[in-house]
Amino acid sequence: MDARILDEAADWLVLWHDQGMTEAECADFERWRARSPAHRQAWARAELLMGRLGDLPRDWAMPVLDRPVRHARTSRRQVVAKLAALLAVAPTAWLGWQWAGEQGWTADVRTATGEQRRVTLADGSQLLLDTHSAVDIVFDGLQRTVHLRTGAIAVETAPDATGLQRPFAVHTALGRLRALGTRFTVRQEDAVVHLAVTEGAVEVTLHGVTVPRTVVPVGQQTELTKQGVSALAPVSVQQQSWVHGMLMADAMALSDVCAELSRYRSGILQCAPEVAGLRVSGAYPLTDTDRALAMLQATYPIQAHQRWRGHWVTLLAR
């Protein structure tokens, strides 16, 4: 991509973050973004980068996140130069699933941010993909396999009508989960795979191990890590509420509520430190985060400060 366009995108990103933009600047930005597909693609990279600034090395991230730069031209140009460099290498680094998909990585089934999708497989099994999730499906004469690439899925298996007794399994980054006539959910994030069984049982075999490590029975959950399989624990109703499109909070820290809602919302949703520890209870719709935020504001002493047409939201004390 043209380095000049990436530099301009980085400049707009810094201008946007630093106390917002004036109406005239917003109009100029819209004209810039509409100039060509390359400009729109550069801004798409910038938006992805913006959502992950917290993951940058501290000496790169802090000038953008914590220090005003609009009136310090030298400092501002240094920040823009660093951002432009990051934008240029983003596709091969840590911008993640969405950018990789735009570059040609495709799964058999995937969902966008904020989307949930239910799929009926060839054998009649049901698959529900959570927000920002992707799977590959391999059904042949020997297997019924779902490869979870990213995100979370809920599985309801059906009997193998072919009479071949093909096993139904979910392959994750850390191991194989074989269904034993069951309903279960799997979430893959960072270096952890979360498994919860709500019907039947699931056999867990870690990668590199030939003998199954454990069988997780109905009503139990566990975690897979590189170190092994954690001890079993009762399934949490709150953790399973996403299957019904809801976030169930029971004295949950507002910062954790924000983190969960942000998975279903494009742009940035963050929580100010002074209200981060506020305890929240209630049921909030995951597929309508604007409504969820309105419910929070109506119930608790907080207000949502919105920037850039609602794409950047900060919850503050009211």
Burial class (CB in 10 A: 0-12, 13-18, 19+), 270: middle
Q: What is the CATH number of the domain that holds 278?
A: 3.55.50.30
DSSP structure string for 280-311: EEEEEESS-HHHHHHHHHHHSSEEEEEETTTT
Residues of the chain with pLDDT > 70, as a percent, come to 77
- Among candidate residues 236, 267, 284, the one where a domain is terminated: 236
Asked if the model's pLDDT at residue 169 lies above 90, the reply is yes
45-48: Cβ within 8 A, 24+ apart? 45/6, 45/9, 45/87, 45/90, 45/91, 45/95, 45/99, 46/9, 46/10, 46/12, 46/13, 46/83, 46/87, 47/266, 47/267, 47/311, 48/90, 48/95, 48/96, 48/98, 48/99
Shared-domain flag, residues 125 and 226: yes
Q: Flag whether 265 is in a domain.
A: yes
Higher-confidence residue of 128 and 20: namely 128
Q: Which pLDDT belongs to residue 282?
A: 94
Q: Are residues 120 and 84 in the same domain?
A: no
* Residues contacting 163, CB < 8 A, separation 6+: none
- CATH classification at residue 189: 2.60.120.1440
> Is residue 61 situated within a structural domain?
yes
Whether the pLDDT of residue 214 is over 70: the answer is yes
Does residue 222 share a domain with residue 306?
no
| Residue 209 shares a structural domain with residue 125 | yes
- Final residue of a structural domain among 99, 134, 168: 99
251 with 231, same domain: the answer is: no
Instruction: Please check whether residue 119 lies inside any domain of the structure.
Output: yes
- Please give the tally of structural domains in the chain: 3
If asked whether residues 187 and 217 sit together in one domain, one would say yes
Q: What pLDDT does 48 receive?
A: 62
What b/e string do you get for 147-166 counting C-beta neighbours within 10 Å, with b at 16 or more? bbbbbbbbbbbeebeeeeeb
Task: Give this prediction's pTM.
Answer: 0.68
Is residue 219 situated within a structural domain?
yes
* The last residue of a domain, from among 35, 68, 99: 99
Task: State the Cα–Cα distance between residues 208 and 226, nearest whole angstrom.
Answer: 11
Task: List CB contacts of 165: < 8 A, sequence separation 6 or more.
Answer: none
Are 125 and 223 part of one and the same domain? yes
The answer to whether residue 104 is domain-embedded is no
In this predicted model, what pLDDT tens digit does every residue of 87-142 receive, in sequence order?
Answer: 555 544 444 444 444 333 467 888 888 899 999 998 999 999 999 899 999 988 88
Q: Do 26 and 72 have their domain in common?
A: yes
Question: Amino acid identity, residue 263?
Answer: R
Looking at the domain assignment, is residue 72 inside a domain? yes
pLDDT value at residue 161: 84
256 and 225 in a common domain:
no
On the question of pLDDT at 234 being above 70, the answer is: yes
271: pLDDT strictly greater than 70: yes
Which residue carries 């109009």 as its tokens? Answer: 27
Token code pair at residue 274: 């002074």
Residues 204, 149 within the same domain: yes
**Rounded-to-integer distance, Cα 146 and Cα 178, Å:** 10
Dist CA 153 CA 46 (whole Å): 29
Determine the pLDDT at residue 221. 97
Q: What is the extent of the structural domain holding 174?
A: 109-236
Residue 181 included in any domain: yes
Provide the pairing of β-strand 220-225 with 233-234. Answer: antiparallel
Same domain for 84 and 118? Answer: no
- Residue ranges of alpha helices (H) inside 18-72 are 23-33, 37-50, 58-66
Residues 142 and 215 in one domain: yes
